[in-house]
Homo-oligomer: A and B are copies of this chain.
Amino acid sequence: MSVADDLMKSSCEWLRGKGEACEIVMSSRTRLARNIQGFPFPHRISKTDAEEVITIAESALKQSPCFKGSFFLRQRELTLLDRQFLLERHLISREHAGARGPVAACVTRNEIAGVMILEEDHLRIQVIESGLNLTEAWRVIDGIDSSLESVLSYAFHPSLGYLTACPTNVGTGLRASCMMHLPALVMTKQAAKILQAISKLNLAARGMYGEGTEATGNLFQISNQMTLGQSEAEILDSLERVIRQIIEHEKEARQVLVTKRKDKLEDQIWRALGALKTARLISSKETMSLLSLVRLGMDLGLIAQLERTKLNELFMKIQPSHLQKVTGKSLSSSERDFERAKLLRQELNSVSFS
């Protein structure tokens, strides 16, 4: 029984669909980049030093109250499928999942907090909360950071701040982001314009799986780009202000759709549910697009018999590695399309067309 199996039994806390504006902001995430004094950055580290960093980190994490009872995962103990599975659950990055050298990760049982060891930096701490809750995501990560700092010597420069492998992270080492569901802005063709405006504010918009991924399912991850020259509070404040503006834009766009294109909108939403309930072969990309429409239908009060948690979880459960964990076997792309359709029919069985 792998850790992945354990994780799969419970659901990620941050997918619960709770918290402020949770119909538009799926989750809020903070992450801190930290390095341990006296060791080269991961891209130049020796295998011996890497092993030592892992040991030091493990010992520090064991002393941190937040990580009590958490899973400590060494890369070599994980299969490729398990690593992909952790990636799909946003517990490790694509780079970390593909790393060759000795690396590790630590994750709490509720999956709210995690640490990647020897990703781009020695430590990449992250906290994910449900809904718009950057305050709590910051409070928790700040607590973790303090507890770790009490036992670790971080690489720190009095005028630059925390030192990191990539200069874009120097300073606070903080990246904060919100995963936003923006179907109406996409449908009314305003998304591109708004996301372009965001980049001028030094914020970035990416797909569900971070850098270089497409915004499937109308899910956008909006994050700060600057870590230097601003305090943590300023970074979080300016991000939250923009997030709140985007929420308003999305709400307005939904109102426009409901008043001006009601029939077309309802047509798209119900057909999406129809396709999810009937398909025998379906790709993850198409599934995400259809789930996005069903989620919008739920927000608009059209689709009533579905729980938000269940729907949020489906965005993750239909991913390739999750499907393979569920079926317990390695699946080709077309086999996954078949199993994905089967899973969707089961999960949506009780949701009827009204």
Q: How many copies does the complex hold?
A: 2
Among A271, A277, A281, A345, find the residue whose CB has the most chain B CB atoms closer than 10 A: A271
Cβ–Cβ contact B278 & A264, under 8 A: no
The digit string for A327-343, where 1 denotes a CB below 8 A from any CB of B, is 00000001000100100
Main secondary structure of the interface of A (DSSP, over half): helix
Rounded to whole angstroms, the CA-CA distance of A274 and B271 in the bound complex is 7
Cβ–Cβ contact B279 & A271, under 8 A: yes
- Tally chain A residues at the interface, Cβ within 8 Å: 20
Cβ–Cβ contact A280 & B275, under 8 A: no
CB proximity of A259 to chain B, nearest CB, Å = 16
Rounded to whole angstroms, the CA-CA distance of A277 and B278 in the bound complex is 11
Rounded to whole angstroms, the CA-CA distance of A95 and B225 in the bound complex is 69
Rounded to whole angstroms, the CA-CA distance of A282 and B273 in the bound complex is 16
Interface of A toward B, CB cutoff 8 Å: 263-264, 266-267, 270-271, 273-275, 277-282, 334, 338, 341, 345, 353
13 A-B pairs besides A275-B275, A278-B353 with CB distance below 8 A are A263-B334, A264-B281, A266-B280, A267-B279, A267-B280, A270-B280, A271-B275, A271-B278, A273-B278, A274-B274, A274-B275, A274-B277, A274-B278
17 CB-based A-B contacts, threshold 8 Å: A263-B280, A263-B281, A263-B338, A264-B281, A267-B279, A267-B280, A267-B281, A267-B282, A267-B341, A270-B278, A271-B274, A271-B275, A271-B278, A273-B278, A274-B277, A274-B279, A278-B353
